[in-house]
Structure 1
């Protein structure tokens, strides 16, 4: 378990989150957060509103997954862990590109889902604004917990939080003093190796983690993955009122891509490289007043080159480099026993350079200034109002605003009813604004795939939701239910036009098109029926309707109407630990009816045995993923299948 002083430091991890160590109770009295707050049935969360608060007071539905559950799940990627979150589906167009996002068929690159690692957003500037690569920028063993807000949250975080926030919080370096090694081997080419070294004391502590992950991806497709990590974290406490965190790292990935029968997407390897620097400083002005400053930099590089396999052998290059610098200052204040606020300002500079993607060596860029604020007001002992507003000024897409109003009623400490409305936005990526992709043969322009004219404007998502969170102590059970209606306006899609500038017809551009409406019901139950046993049961039901009837007719990007996950974590006699995760996905399509997928099941089983070698803690485990065997996935017409995987892991920590 974490030391209490280290848990308190967790409050300062995220640049976009409030710090401090006080939280408001139902009676309106402040107290210091204890270790039990973070691991109780109603834990303290950091993600929903930039204010740390008990889960039952958060202005939205949330799922919290701690590091022990991550380990027990048998997952090898963050995308796989997120199968434990209602409404989140994991997949990817091939095994080298694992993706998990909310409403994933209409967001299969994760562009509308904000992913944070220690407060640093990890979407790509170089390509499509996607987050799937960014989720590979952390090793599971370094994660303390993952908090997921399900639903719109641009009111707190801005343009990329349209479909929710995945907040990954890594372990404080003071809690990883010593060393760790881990080895995983199995079929499907699985070879994972990891090592960690930590040292220091309470005033200054450091961690260095290195790792390598490999597998052969899906069946019947070239998508071998090789992923290498190097991450460092340092934590300092120069005074009793100050906490400083520094992180840095690099991730290098190579992954198979393409098909032998596709002349314009032939077999080739894509190389990517992410580098980041992240710094956060938290200063306690008083017991009720805190100032926080953060700055981070990310560079993502992509090499994606192939030649068409037809008679013309056209060079196709989708590579480039992206850079993002982000700065933010926020101040959190407790104005009275019933009122708390957080206000802040931020600046982001984002740019990318790619001759093949933009037909120029010049940098394509935008900058964004932002202001935000949240007010939490307990106007009676049982009624809590959360009002938030985010205003951004995008240099290319213009001004956008994202408000939220949420009301929580706590008739008893064990039961919370929630209702509210929010509006979220997604600004166009640099590709959607400026893409210019041309193909040459012998120095002569022969084709132009994209020529964006900068016409795309921000997408808007209008959401209404009601929810319930109940805790039943006598039964060791918690229940979370969310009923929602979300309407997306101005969906950014592809249209064709005749480009008079180059004389080429049917050139693609990104433009706002009719959107869609999603109505759904989600629930998550956690139950501890007896000592050493825990059961998670998630359900999601949804219906999507496009405003364009043609898209409805061809079942465009149709999510499953029903999905369910049942996880059972059981401690057995003799110290053995059994985990079984069963998932059901109703019929769906990632593209259109040509690739309609029938309903599918997946069962993962993990058996582990912890033991000691001298003073070192060790564990050996055997995991079988998709125990039922292979099943069609993503593009059935290309014979893509996910196969059964079996692998063993042994880890030692000293």
Structure 2
């Protein structure tokens, strides 16, 4: 209770501001409809939790709708994010695709907030993972993806440091009927999907199932089999109430490891399962107040048995069976109220609580369940000073049981110079709370029949949150006659207290311990400056061209890290996408991507500049009364290229696959 009181006091000015705003005259505001989200200037929700036209959002945003996702030929959400400037595709093997904004500081996406229908997919059990959760959605179920390019802890709290990806699935009323799809191709590609929806004016339900298979990278042990089941129900018990209920499970079985005889990571099978349940209730209290309550639960489990060979002189080599499996759970509840005080003032205030816990006999030796919780308050105020100036202020205050109390403010000013030209500038402070592993891991592996054990990690718990100050100047412009839209962002991002694992001071060695023990510490800082833009041009009624570019420079404060080129993003990246409707219901898409030299780990993993071209040719038709589409996609037309880990000759291969989709 004391923690809640401290948080309330910290946010007192925001609540007071909201109260003062109420002096203005009341005015009704129309709720956004589906047409708003797909208008020429779409309405977005992700930037501040308020519905806003894209040109009034307090940050640079990219919106990708379901037709673009389908036409891109992407098989994963990570591949779809290539259409967002600043995102780089990675993954330590082909079964673990990951897309990171600007700089990939880890292999798990822990600094990139990923939401599905507003529910965070941040996994509690391992190392703050989001990429497994990003795989926990079927692409045909997605309505659109809203991506805020930049920090946004002011709206979402810890971990919204390098980008916010909000995946919004289709309303079940829009998927009444049935649909099925099958993709077959080389490299073991075999994807299946089926959907059935039923309903009426008051309630609708959709059930979706799917499976995805492939053989991953060339020269890697990473065959993948991903199965999923999802259920979504949308209910309208009254004209003022909307309820969404969703639940699902996804399970991944994949190969992992570097070689059959590798000392610490031999070939083995990795199995992970993510399950969730979510209820969102929205009530329109009156013509100016809306209340929303969200409750969700997520469980992530990971099974990773390894057979390790350990040498303990003078004893002979010992074969050791170890299971690095983990089990994590997260409960989350949130209440927020949106209020229109006057034609010039709007606010949103909310409160929430989450509990995260994990257990693992190997990762958290002897601790049973380890846990952490967070109480949070947040608020956003939008003030239209006059028709040309819009001020957006946000503040998130969290009280974390391990990280302590923190604040994340944002101040953004939008100058609507003309109805089609907007300049924005502002500053945001964000943070990332260390994961349970970084706070409490104690990894111990005992040797059978011997008084020895290895203890590679023992967290002292002294690690502090990472912080990021982001400054930006942005521009959004639209030329209706030419059908051109441009969104540009100039940024400077300063990150402090970067968490690394280190044995410099180390945790004290225990008796009979083999090797050194590593701890998680705040060791470094970095600065990232750059410019990115996205241009969309409707060249003709049936042709659209996208051009994304990002130019950046990153520098570590630590000269050792700078010399090692640790986690060095590309200095330039370009994506060009062409979507062309052809006569007789044919359609062709071409995506070309060029990424400068970079490393997703250290200098020893340096990758030369790469380029990739994907081509998709499709035709829509009627088949026995059903809507149908047949498509042939070739990814990486140029052929095989070194990718992610050149030392091990990992290669991203050229793949072709045929897709047939039927819909009632």
Q: Which residue of 2 aligns with 1:220?
A: 219
1:321 is matched with which residue: 301, 316, 327? 327
TM-score (norm 2): 0.93
Q: In structure 1, how many angstroms separate the alpha carbons of the residues matched to 2:487 and 2:107?
A: 26
Q: Does 1:552 align with 2:562?
A: yes
Is the alpha carbon distance of 1:121 and 1:353 closer, same or farther for their aligned partners in structure 2, counting shifts above 3 Å? same
* Aligned residues of 1:125 and 1:351 also touching (Cα < 8 A): yes
CA-CA distance at 1:362 after TM superposition? 1.1
CA-CA distance at 1:501 after TM superposition? 6.0
Q: Which residue of 1 aligns with 2:543?
A: 533
* Aligned residues of 1:115 and 1:166 also touching (Cα < 8 A): yes
Q: In structure 1, how many angstroms separate the alpha carbons of the residues matched to 2:509 and 2:401?
A: 25
Three-state SS of the structure 1 residue aligned to 2:363 is helix
Q: Which residue of 2 aligns with 1:424?
A: 430
CA-CA distance at 1:317 after TM superposition? 2.5
Q: Does 1:478 align with 2:485?
A: yes
Q: In structure 1, how many angstroms separate the alpha carbons of the residues matched to 2:132 and 2:176?
A: 29
Q: Does 1:409 align with 2:415?
A: yes
* Aligned residues of 1:101 and 1:108 also touching (Cα < 8 A): no
Q: In structure 2, how many angstroms separate the alpha carbons of the residues matched to 1:106 and 1:331?
A: 35
Q: In structure 1, how many angstroms separate the alpha carbons of the residues matched to 2:508 and 2:431?
A: 32
| Aligned positions of 1:349-428 closer than 5 A | 349-360=355-366, 362-428=368-434
Q: Which residue of 2 aligns with 1:291?
A: 291
List gaps (5 residues or longer) in structure 2.
1-26, 311-316
Q: Does 1:488 align with 2:495?
A: yes
Q: Which residue of 1 aligns with 2:19?
A: none
Structure 1 residues 77-121: Cα deviation after superposition (integer angstroms, max 9, x where no partner): 000000000001112000010101212432432101110101111
Residue range with higher mean Cα deviation, 34-43 or 569-578: 34-43
Q: In structure 2, how many angstroms separate the alpha carbons of the residues matched to 1:445 and 1:249?
A: 43
| Aligned positions of 1:10-49 closer than 5 A | 30-31=29-30, 33-49=32-48
Is the alpha carbon distance of 1:498 and 1:417 closer, same or farther for their aligned partners in structure 2, counting shifts above 3 Å? closer
Three-state SS of the structure 2 residue aligned to 1:156 is helix
Q: Does 1:610 align with 2:616?
A: no
Q: Does 1:344 align with 2:350?
A: yes
CA-CA distance at 1:361 after TM superposition? 5.2
Q: Which residue of 1 aligns with 2:313?
A: none
Q: Does 1:524 align with 2:498?
A: no
Q: Which residue of 2 aligns with 1:586?
A: 596
CA-CA distance at 1:34 after TM superposition? 4.7
Three-state SS of the structure 1 residue aligned to 2:644 is coil
| Aligned positions of 1:154-233 closer than 5 A | 154-233=153-232
Q: Which residue of 1 aligns with 2:51?
A: 52
Structure 1 residues 341-373: Cα deviation after superposition (integer angstroms, max 9, x where no partner): 000000001000101001125100011100000
CA-CA distance at 1:397 after TM superposition? 1.2
* Aligned residues of 1:438 and 1:445 also touching (Cα < 8 A): no
Q: Does 1:434 align with 2:453?
A: no
CA-CA distance at 1:136 after TM superposition? 0.8
Is the alpha carbon distance of 1:523 and 1:246 closer, same or farther for their aligned partners in structure 2, counting shifts above 3 Å? same
| Aligned positions of 1:260-279 closer than 5 A | 260=259, 261-279=261-279
2:521 is matched with which residue: 481, 488, 511? 511
CA-CA distance at 1:453 after TM superposition? 0.8
Structure 1 residues 585-625: Cα deviation after superposition (integer angstroms, max 9, x where no partner): 00001112112111110000000000012431100000000
CA-CA distance at 1:40 after TM superposition? 2.3
Structure 1 residues 617-644: Cα deviation after superposition (integer angstroms, max 9, x where no partner): 1000000000000000111111110000
Residue range with higher mean Cα deviation, 69-78 or 302-311: 302-311
Q: Which residue of 1 aligns with 2:280?
A: 280
CA-CA distance at 1:32 after TM superposition? 5.1
Q: In structure 2, how many angstroms separate the alpha carbons of the residues matched to 1:347 and 1:421?
A: 26
Three-state SS of the structure 1 residue aligned to 2:109 is coil
Q: In structure 2, how many angstroms separate the alpha carbons of the residues matched to 1:462 and 1:267?
A: 41
Q: In structure 1, how many angstroms separate the alpha carbons of the residues matched to 2:34 and 2:306?
A: 53
Q: In structure 1, how many angstroms separate the alpha carbons of the residues matched to 2:347 and 2:506?
A: 52
Three-state SS of the structure 2 residue aligned to 1:238 is strand
CA-CA distance at 1:498 after TM superposition? 4.3
Q: In structure 2, how many angstroms separate the alpha carbons of the residues matched to 1:439 and 1:321?
A: 18
Three-state SS of the structure 2 residue aligned to 1:321 is strand
* Aligned residues of 1:101 and 1:107 also touching (Cα < 8 A): no
| Aligned positions of 1:79-228 closer than 5 A | 79-228=78-227
Q: In structure 1, how many angstroms separate the alpha carbons of the residues matched to 2:106 and 2:387?
A: 40
Q: In structure 1, how many angstroms separate the alpha carbons of the residues matched to 2:103 and 2:366?
A: 33
CA-CA distance at 1:515 after TM superposition? 1.2
RMSD: 1.3
Question: Once superposed, which parts of structure 1, at least 4 consecutive aligned residues long, lie more than 4 Å away?
Answer: 28-32
Q: In structure 1, how many angstroms separate the alpha carbons of the residues matched to 2:322 and 2:592?
A: 41
Q: In structure 1, how many angstroms separate the alpha carbons of the residues matched to 2:195 and 2:44?
A: 27
CA-CA distance at 1:299 after TM superposition? 0.4
Three-state SS of the structure 1 residue aligned to 2:285 is strand
2:510 is matched with which residue: 491, 502, 505? 502
* Aligned residues of 1:315 and 1:440 also touching (Cα < 8 A): no
Is the alpha carbon distance of 1:360 and 1:390 closer, same or farther for their aligned partners in structure 2, counting shifts above 3 Å? same
Three-state SS of the structure 1 residue aligned to 2:502 is strand
Is the alpha carbon distance of 1:414 and 1:498 closer, same or farther for their aligned partners in structure 2, counting shifts above 3 Å? closer
* Aligned residues of 1:266 and 1:309 also touching (Cα < 8 A): no
* Aligned residues of 1:104 and 1:110 also touching (Cα < 8 A): no
* Aligned residues of 2:29 and 2:288 also touching (Cα < 8 A): no
Q: Which residue of 2 aligns with 1:4?
A: none
* Aligned residues of 1:41 and 1:478 also touching (Cα < 8 A): no
Q: In structure 1, how many angstroms separate the alpha carbons of the residues matched to 2:75 and 2:394?
A: 36
Is the alpha carbon distance of 1:579 and 1:419 closer, same or farther for their aligned partners in structure 2, counting shifts above 3 Å? same
List gaps (5 residues or longer) in structure 1.
1-27
